[in-house]
Amino acid sequence: MYTVDELRAIIKEELDKKEYIQEPYSLFEPILYILEDGGKRLRPLLTLMAYNLYREDIEKVLKSAIGIEIFHNYTLLHDDVMDDAELRRGRPTVHKKWNSNVAILSGDAAAITAYQCIEHCEDKYLRRAIDFFNQVAMDVCRGQQYDMLFETRNDVSEEEYIKMIYLKTSVLLAGSLRHGALLADAPEHEYNALYEFGGYLGLAFQLQDDLLDSYGDQRLGKAIGGDILEGKKTYLMITAMSHADEATREMLRTAYRDPALSDAEKIGKVKSIYDRLDVPRLTEQQIQLRFERALSILDTLSVAPSRTQRMRDYAMSLMDRKN
Amino acid sequence: MYTVDELRAIIKEELDKKEYIQEPYSLFEPILYILEDGGKRLRPLLTLMAYNLYREDIEKVLKSAIGIEIFHNYTLLHDDVMDDAELRRGRPTVHKKWNSNVAILSGDAAAITAYQCIEHCEDKYLRRAIDFFNQVAMDVCRGQQYDMLFETRNDVSEEEYIKMIYLKTSVLLAGSLRHGALLADAPEHEYNALYEFGGYLGLAFQLQDDLLDSYGDQRLGKAIGGDILEGKKTYLMITAMSHADEATREMLRTAYRDPALSDAEKIGKVKSIYDRLDVPRLTEQQIQLRFERALSILDTLSVAPSRTQRMRDYAMSLMDRKN
């Protein structure tokens, strides 16, 4: 069985081959640019790890794992245009470094490249691989659409928010795992179980991301309170809104754009409401619930406990939790 | 064998089912909007006609023919954003009616919908269907990229221009035909022949489009000379540039933005240069060459001449030529 570091090195080596590049180079240059800035390579890693639960010949799933990473980066290219984001992992976004047209068209080329990579599998898996990938890709789009729709609404429920982040981020993690297990010839109920594991893990991860943005430490490398200052709808904000009285709701809605307050005062004001409404503990509960469900699913797999242990360790490390 | 009108009615009926719609509706509304404005339905028609050369049970290829139409409309959604186009077939473009984010994301959803539709085929065709579609989709992207790159260049050769329009428009016509023939179980050399037929037909059609924009009649419903007024690089302009002396080239380069000239004078000036350099006849020659090559390929197919005749008639009608 491979270690996570070994798998990450294998992913890097495969990406560095840049085998998918065609003419004109300028169409692929922005794809190389966004791919080279790294990130955790979470999705192809999950694909390889799921495959490696069952089989050792991971080169068989490598091309399609790369496809999943390229797909993820395609969504980043387009999302950054839609959000008009300036920076991505500390570097100018593609539409800022070049322009939106470049980000749109190179994004499109990345999506097609992803499809080309995904189909690298034996014929007997092809229909399911494509079916599953189509569904995941569509769910990611649906999640992004809900996210944009929610921006202009003040009555988003916790349930709606959870559904949105599930579609926008968890489904791709879930699909990465299922794809790896499918190509490893895992039985249907096991690749579906891994899909479920990924869904819960993704939700736990995303909710924790929300929590850490307001209450986290420096490990994230993010400014604490960024979400509050942007007036972003996070799980914390939505939970607070649903528990607050009307006067408090009005404060939550307007604090971030109150010209009388400094940034630190805005953050302090919102967090004191969160604290009063017990939001951090309620959020932590939701994280814990989903993380435990995710881990319990690993116990249902037919593989040796030593093999699932590595997946468990990796999930722990993602959540920054000690075993 | 079905008539073209029957096939068009079948396509309309299938599109009207809107079977691919998921929640949220707002993600799919722009796709319905761009699909409902009609157009010739050229691509799904070619798919059905290619299938119908060999087989009568066209319902088997209908879903994927619809997928090709949806794919085409996805490229229109994104191209209209990139070109900042105001109108499409007389109606506001999606990014004008809504905004660019809507056009980008609904375009993405349309592309994935296209993939979902394309895979409606028997397992034995699936790999080739997906392989071919991926290649076509990538070529369309590459063509759009060349088109954008050429905008800022003054030295585009005829060969480069032909390659660009081949990728941007002909390949999808070619792929539509190949897809139909593949699913009809046509032998490999025949579906490849139909791909070639579509490539030449597409080039003839696109070059004629260039010619008619400056020399056409009212059948197109386009203002005569629109390309000249936009300073667009067309086959006519590129041919003229390659045959002109430096002083004439400078006139061609600048006429469209000369504030001293009225629109009619700009058009008159450029057309008089075209005429002097024999550009209309040279262009007509290139059209004829490709159109004849296309038709001659139809003769190589193993199907009864009465069946290829309908394809020939349709090609003639597309080119507005009498048999």
Cβ A115–B115 below 8 Å, yes or no?
yes
Distance CA A277, CA A291 (A): 23
Residue ranges of A 115-134 with Cβ closer than 8 A to chain B:
115-116, 119, 123, 126-127, 130-131, 134
Confidence (pLDDT) at B323: 43
Cβ A116–B104 below 8 Å, yes or no?
no
Hey, is the C-beta of A109 within 8 angstroms of any chain B C-beta? yes
For A225, the token pair is: 């309170």
Distance CA A233, CA A91 (A): 25
**End-to-end alpha carbon distance in chain A:** 20
Query: For B178-194, what is each residue's pLDDT tens digit?
Result: 999 999 999 999 999 99
Residue ranges of A 248-287 with Cβ closer than 8 A to chain B:
none
CA triple B151-A111-A140, angle to 5 deg: 125
Q: Which residues contact A236 (CB under 8 A, 6 or more apart)?
A: A210, A211, A214, A227, A274, A279, A280, A283
Query: For B37-93, what is each residue's pLDDT tens digit?
Result: 778 899 999 999 999 999 999 999 999 999 999 999 999 999 999 999 999 989 999
| Beta strands A91-92; A87-88: pairing state | antiparallel
Query: For B220-259, what is each residue's pLDDT tens digit?
Result: 555 589 999 999 999 999 999 999 999 999 999 999 999 9
For A33, the token pair is: 């640019």
Confidence (pLDDT) at B216: 82
Cβ A109–B138 below 8 Å, yes or no?
yes
Hey, is the C-beta of A78 within 8 angstroms of any chain B C-beta? yes
Hey, is the C-beta of A137 within 8 angstroms of any chain B C-beta? yes
Q: From the list A78, A108, A126, which residue is nearest B141 (CB)? A: A108
What ipTM describes this predicted complex? 0.95
For B128, the token pair is: 């080739």
Residue ranges of B 284-323 with Cβ closer than 8 A to chain A:
none
Mutant choice from B105, B131, B149, B171 vs A, greatest count of A C-beta within 10 A: B105
Backbone CA torsion sign across B273, B274, B277, B278? negative
Q: From the list A104, A127, A149, which residue is nearest B81 (CB)? A: A104
Q: Which residues contact B304 (CB under 8 A, 6 or more apart)?
A: none
A159-166 contact pairs (CB < 8 A, 24+): A161/A233, A161/A235, A161/A238, A162/A203, A162/A235, A165/A202, A165/A203, A165/A206, A165/A207, A165/A235, A166/A199, A166/A202, A166/A203
Amino acid at A63: K
* 3-class DSSP assignment, residue B296: helix
Question: pTM to 2 decimals?
Answer: 0.96
Confidence of residue B263 (pLDDT cuts 50, 70, 90): very high
Do A319 and A205 contact (CB within 8 A), yes or no? yes
Confidence (pLDDT) at A219: 56
Reply yes or no on whether the pLDDT at B10 is more than 60: yes
Query: For A273-316, what is each residue's pLDDT tens digit?
Result: 999 999 999 999 999 999 999 999 999 999 999 999 999 999 99
Dihedral (C-alpha) A69, A70, A71, A73: value to the nearest 10 degrees?
90
Mutant choice from A19, A21, A27 vs B, greatest count of B C-beta within 10 A: A27
Reply yes or no on whether the pLDDT at B195 is more than 50: yes
Helices (H), chain A: 4-17, 25-36, 42-54, 59-83, 94-97, 100-118, 123-151, 158-165, 171-183, 188-215, 226-230, 235-243, 246-254, 263-276, 279-298, 305-318
Ranges of residues in chain A whose predicted pLDDT is under 50: 323
For A146, the token pair is: 């809900």
Confidence (pLDDT) at B320: 84
Distance CA B224, CA A281 (A): 69
Q: Which residue has the tokens 């950054």?
A: A80
Closest chain B C-alpha to A122 CA, distance in angstroms: 10
Burial pattern B51-77, b for ≥16 Cβ within 10 A else e, equals: bbbbeeebeebbbbbbbbbbbbbbbbb
B231-236 contact pairs (CB < 8 A, 24+): B231/B256, B231/B257, B233/B150, B233/B151, B233/B156, B233/B161, B234/B210, B235/B158, B235/B161, B235/B162, B235/B165, B235/B207, B235/B210, B235/B211, B235/B283, B235/B286, B236/B210, B236/B211, B236/B274, B236/B279, B236/B280, B236/B283
Q: Which residue of B has its CA nearest to A132?
A: B116
Counting Cα atoms < 13 Å in the Cβ hemisphere of A277 gives: 21
* 3-class DSSP assignment, residue A18: coil
